[in-house]
A = this chain, B = another copy of it.
Amino acid sequence: MDPIFSKFLNLDKEKQQRVLNAALKEFARKGYDDASTIEIAKEAGISKGLLFHYFNTKKDLFLFLYDYSMKIIKTEYFDMVNTKDKDIFVRLRQVYLLKIELIHKHPWLFQFSAVSTDSKEVKKELESRKLEMESIGYGKMFEDIDESKFKEGVDVEKAKNIIFWAIGGYANKIIEEAKVSELEEPDYDKILEEFDAYLDILKVWAYN
């Protein structure tokens, strides 16, 4: 029973989720340095002392969340992409759907994963994690794409980038809009329809 974080991991799943979501949200919103542990405890409905009983330090809590997030992103996102589909648009559609689903399940996950800090202590720990992550980055998601379908004479690398950035731009727009209307459930059907429209335009352009 004494491995690290075992106190937390032995909790019932519901309480774990409450704490994780509260922490994810606070760190995602304010960044490491400015996030308040007492705010996390309040949001999770537990006492300050208990939070430290589980995680010892703010830093340990943050790094636990980081590992937890990376694991989810890997297993429920990167690893789920079916690379049998060689067509970049089919692949992208898949990726996008997975991401929507994941955001639905873990609203603060992606924002958390982009959080930064000035704490040298934390930075150092993060660096060492980055090495492991390199092998599972976004690059993998777009490996083994069928390039024969692209218009002739085009720099395929650049073409793929354009498509990737355009889709990313659309995703950001959706996220931005979701932030504004905060608590309303987004209309996923409408979004998907619009997404497909963008994919179609790009497909017509990029392919012969």
Instruction: Determine how close the nearest CB of chain B comes to the CB of A192; give it in whole angstroms.
Output: 15
Tell me if A201 is interfacial: C-beta within 8 Å of chain B: yes
Pick the residue among B155, B159, B164 that contacts A169 (CB under 8 A): B164
> Which A residues from 18 to 55 make CB contacts under 8 A with B?
29-31, 33-34
Contact A155 B197 (CB under 8 A): yes
Distance in Å: Cβ of A202 to nearest Cβ of chain B = 7
Chain B CB within 8 A of A206 CB: yes
Nearest CB in chain B: distance from A200 CB, A: 9
Q: Tell me, yes or no, whether A64 is within 8 Å of chain B by CB.
A: no
In whole angstroms, how far apart are the Cα atoms of A151 and B203 in the complex? 13
Q: Is the CB of A118 within 8 A of B205?
A: no
CB distance from A125 to the nearest CB of B (A): 17
Is A154 at the interface (CB under 8 A from chain B)?
yes
Q: Known: A30-B33, A31-B34, A118-B29. Contact between A166 and B162, CB under 8 A?
A: yes
A34 to B115 alpha-carbon distance, docked (Å): 14
User: Does more than half of chain A's interface fall in helix, strand or loop, or is it mixed?
Assistant: helix
Q: Is A13 among interface residues, defined by CB-CB distance under 8 A?
A: no
Q: Is the CB of A162 within 8 A of B118?
A: no
CB distance from A135 to the nearest CB of B (A): 17
- From B151, B158, B170, B205, give the contact of A206 (CB < 8 A): B205
Q: Is A10 an interface residue (CB 8 A)?
A: no
Judged by a CB distance under 8 angstroms, whether A188 is at the interface is no
Asked whether B198 lies within 8 Å of A162 as measured between CB atoms, the reply is: yes
Closest residue of B by beta carbon distance from A172: B165
Bound together, the chains give a CA A162 to CA B198 distance in angstroms of 8
A161 in contact (CB, < 8 A)? yes
**A186 on the interface (CB 8 Å rule)?**
no
Nearest CB of B to A141, in Å:
15
Chain A interface (Cβ < 8 Å from any Cβ of B):
29-31, 33-34, 118, 151, 154-155, 158-159, 161-162, 164-166, 168-170, 173, 197-198, 201-202, 204-206
